[in-house]
Amino acid sequence: MEAPGFSKEEQARLVARIQAHVQDEFDLELGRFEAEGVAAFFSNVLGPQFYNRGLHDAQALLTKQVDLFNDAVYQLERTSET
């Protein structure tokens, strides 16, 4: 069972990290299949949250940059002399 969106190499590294973490923190040994299940579960549950947060952060940054651009353009406006 693979976590969605990861290459085989990324999946293998993720599984190894999960196995090491569970061993270190809880003194439990997870097999590859169990660790893949944990990775898939958290990827499915948390993945959309992190993705949406990233979109929100990108939108906020872009909005700020557009505001700065608009301010710069406004400062370039010239008034007509009558």
pLDDT tens digit sequence for 19-34? 999 999 999 999 999 9
Would you list the domain boundaries of the chain?
Answer: 8-76
Q: How far apart are CA 16 and CA 24, in angstroms?
A: 12
**Contact (CB, 8 A) for 22 and 30:** yes
Give this prediction's pTM. 0.67
How many Cβ atoms from other residues are within 10 Å of residue 14's Cβ? 20
- The DSSP code sequence of 31-56 is -HHHHHHHHHHHHHHHHHHHHHHHHH
Residue 5: per-residue pLDDT? 79
